[in-house]
Every structure is written in structure tokens, then in C-alpha cells.
Amino acid sequence: MLGTIYLEMPAKPNVMNNLQDDNSIINPETPAKYKSDADVVSLEDESGRVEISGHCLNRELLVTGMIVGILGKEVATGAFEAIDVCLPGMADQDPLPEQDTQHPKYVALLSGLNIGADDQLDVKNQLLSEFLSGELGSSADEMSSASISRVILAGNSVTKATKKADNTKGAKKYGYDASTFSASPMLQLDEILQDICSSIDVDIMPGPTDPSPLHLPQQPMHTAMFKHAHQLSTFHSVTNPYWCKVDNVTFLGTSGQNIDDIYRYVDTADRIKLAEICMYWRHMAPSAPDTLWSYPFNDRDPFIIEKTPHVYFIGNQPQFEDSLLNGPNGQKVRVILVPSFAETGIMVLVNLSTLECSAVHFSENGIQPVNEDRMETDNE
């Protein structure tokens, strides 16, 4: 049988239940995990939906929206007993271009700058700006920053909008009032981007806290919000998810909402594994639009991975991790979890020649490479 997985989960938010509850005033909190022992797994296609059972389901990572083939048989109860589950597998990949290994170029990945409404700029952000602009450190540091050909900011560049203190007297205003919100975070972000864009290309993706519609795919933040940076040709406001090519090396990344939502469907806490399996599902956000907000598309699914990228990165994750996936037909994918820069001070560098990945740590004490005690996992 071929079809789409659907999980009936009592712990999963249900908009219809919320509308039926007349006593509900605020949206209920999203649980850390949707998964429970009461979940029911179904497979549906154009003809209808059938319940799926079987011990093999316990070892699979199942998420609503993924397309699978299931081998099994119908049992007396009317359910379908699965013997094996077949995933689409990794899509074809363009060959990795030959690069200059003696003078490699790098792409810097960042997420979660979380620039707030404070007037004083964070020290880490200032160090980052000066490093990428080549204004910081020794001649060796200047050479290393000069080898970075592009910077990708993967969402949450500013904090959520906050209201100014209302000290005015008179009648109270209700509803949205643009004058009561602080523009300080965007002004600070614009200042940082202007400095960085003076010497390097920057692609900025929206995230859940940025001024962009929350529905995926998130549209680029309007350039009018970047008064100074958008005047430079090196500034690029892009979508989330984001595809791009840098020296013919293909990058695909998101600001993290897709993995955060997939994480709630499964028992495992191994987020790098969840990012890797997206390549085998050929889908980066199967749970949209069920539990992940997205625009309606009648004739196509924009989240299908039709070509396997060389680098797949996920922003705003708890910690830095990376792995190398080797596909059956010679595909090679570097999967990267990019942590919040505001919380960790980590910037990730990807070598375009080898796809090797390293991290640089920014703190009040200076800049230093991250010592990796973990073992890199190469998956077949």
C-alpha cells in the first residue's frame, strides 16, 4: 500500500476543539511532545483511510504527512498489519564541483542573534560584526574572515516585538497601535548588517520572532525595514526555507520550525537524526499544515526535496551538531544544527571544498574555535 501517514494524537492541538470550547479565552500551550500510548496510526490515499498496526511501527519515526509504502496484510479487525515500511529514499544529487583545496572558501551559518530592545549592543554581536568585516584580531584572523564568501542568518535575528511603556494620559486605545512598539531591535540589526554587508554577501532568512508572516514558507522580510543595509548589493532578504548555490555547492536550510514540530511527534530527543531522516523522507516539513502553519497549495507541495542538497542546515537548535550522510547513489550531504548565537555565541563555518564543518565561539573573552569532543557520525 502507498499513501500518506496520519497520526491521531489526543495530545496534538486541534483547532476544531478550540472553537467548540466556549470557555477558551487564550490559546492552549503547545505540549513538549504530542506522542502518547493512545496514538492511532493510519494510512490514507484517494480511496480513504485505514488503521495501521504492527511491531515494525515501533522502530520507525512516523510523522503526519510523510509518504510511505507499507508491506503487510489486512487482519480480521479491518486494520492493516504492517510487516515493513518503505521510505522514498534520498533524491538524486548534482555532483559536487571540484574546488580549490589550497585556498578554500567558507560559508558562515548563524541563527538566533535575538537582538533586543536594549539600546546597548551585545558584545558578542559587536565582535561578530567586526570579525566578518575583517576589522578584528591579527592578520591571521583577517585572512580567515576574508575566506568567508557568504553569511546566512537562519532566522530569529531580532526578539519578539515588545510594547513601549505607555506613560501618556487620556483615553486608553485598544487594538494594534504601531507607535507603541519599539523599533530599536530592527535599527540595531540594520546597523550590524550594514557593517557586515560592506565586505561580504549576507542572506537573511525570517524566523518565528522576526517581522514576517508565520506561515511557511515565510516570505522575505521587507527591505524597507533595513534602511541602510538594503542599499548595498550584498544584502539579500530571502525566504524560509531557503535554497541557494554558493560556488555550485547547493544549500538548503530552515529557521528550525520544521524540526521543532517533528520533534513533538516522536520519542527520540536526537534532533540531528530528525534532520537526517528528512533526506530519506524527501520532505522537510511533512507536518505542515496539520500542526505547522503553512500557506495552502492546491497543485504542489513546496516542501518536497526534489534534489538532494550538499548542505542541509537547521537554525535555532539547542546545540551545534553535524553529520555526514552518504547515500546509495553517491549522494553526500552535510547536515548541520545551528544553535542560537545569542545563547551560545557559536558561528558555524562550512568548507565549500570538502563540506567539512567547524564552529567558532564568540564571547566577552574573545574568539576561539570550538573543541569538538563528540564523534562525527557518518551514516550509510
Q: Is the pLDDT of residue 176 over 80?
A: no
Cα 204 off chain centre by: 13
User: For the residues of 26-83, what is the DSSP string, one character each?
Assistant: SPPPPPS----TT-EEEEEETTEEEEEE-GGGGGS---TT-EEEEEEEE-TTS-EEEE
Q: Which residues of 106-122 are buried (b: 16+ CB within 10 A; e: fewer)?
A: bbbbbbbbbbbbeeeeb
Q: Is the pLDDT of residue 380 over 60?
A: no
pLDDT digits (tens, 9 = 90+) for 281-337: 999 999 998 889 898 888 888 999 999 999 999 999 999 999 999 999 999 999 999
pLDDT digits (tens, 9 = 90+) for 346-371: 999 999 999 999 999 988 877 788 76
Task: Show Cβ contacts of residue 205 under 8 Å, excluding neighbours closer than 6 positions.
Answer: 152, 153, 154, 155, 218, 238, 239, 240, 242, 253, 255, 315
Q: Rounded to whole angstroms, how far apart are CA atoms 161 and 225?
A: 14
Q: Rounded to whole angstroms, how far apart are CA atoms 325 and 93?
A: 12
Instruction: Indicate the helix (H) or strand (E) that contains 125.
Output: helix 123-132
Cell of 67: 509518504
Q: What order of strands is seen across the sheet that includes strand 242-246?
A: 242-246, 249-254, 311-317, 332-339, 321-326, 377-379
What residues are paired with 249 via a beta bridge?
A: 246
What residues are paired with 163 via a beta bridge?
A: 181
**Closest by alpha carbon to 149, among 111, 100, 205?**
100
Better pLDDT: 266 or 21: 266
Give 176: exposed, middle or buried? Use CB within 10 Å, 0-12, 13-18, 19+: exposed
User: For the residues of 187-250, what is the DSSP string, one character each?
Assistant: HHHHHHHHHHHTTSEEEEE--TTSSS-SSBSBPPPPGGG-TTGGGSTTEEE--BSEEEEETTEE
Is the entire prediction scored with pTM above 0.75?
A: yes
**What percent of the chain clears pLDDT 70, i.e. is strictly above it?**
84
**What percent of the chain clears pLDDT 90, i.e. is strictly above it?**
56
Q: What order of strands is seen across the sheet that includes strand 148-154?
A: 235-237, 201-205, 148-154, 106-110, 346-351, 357-363, 366-369
Residue for grid cell 551514516: 379
Cβ 253 vs Cβ 242: under 8 Å: yes
pLDDT digits (tens, 9 = 90+) for 210-221: 999 989 999 999
Q: Is 128 helix (H, G, I), strand (E, B) or coil?
A: helix
pLDDT digits (tens, 9 = 90+) for 8-33: 988 887 655 554 555 555 556 778 88
Instruction: Indicate the helix (H) or strand (E) that contains 329.
Output: none
pLDDT at 357: 93
Same fold, 2-86 and 106-361: no
Give 18: exposed, middle or buried? Use CB within 10 Å, 0-12, 13-18, 19+: exposed
Q: Rounded to whole angstroms, how far apart are CA atoms 16 and 27?
A: 12
| Mean pLDDT value of segment 136-154 | 76
Top CATH class, 106-361:
alpha beta
Q: Is 16 helix (H, G, I), strand (E, B) or coil?
A: helix
Q: Where are the domains of the chain?
A: 2-86, 106-361
pLDDT at 377: 39
Q: Rounded to whole angstroms, how far apart are CA atoms 112 and 115?
A: 8
**Closest by alpha carbon to 88, among 270, 283, 266, 261?**
283
| Mean pLDDT value of segment 79-107 | 88
Cβ 320 vs Cβ 357: under 8 Å: no
| DSSP assigned state of 290 | T
**What's the mean pLDDT when you consider all of the chain?**
85
**Which one of 2.30.42.10, 2.40.50.430, 3.40.50.2300, 3.30.70.2190 gives the CATH number of domain 2-86?**
2.40.50.430
pLDDT digits (tens, 9 = 90+) for 35-92: 888 889 999 988 889 999 888 888 889 999 999 999 989 888 878 899 999 999 999 9
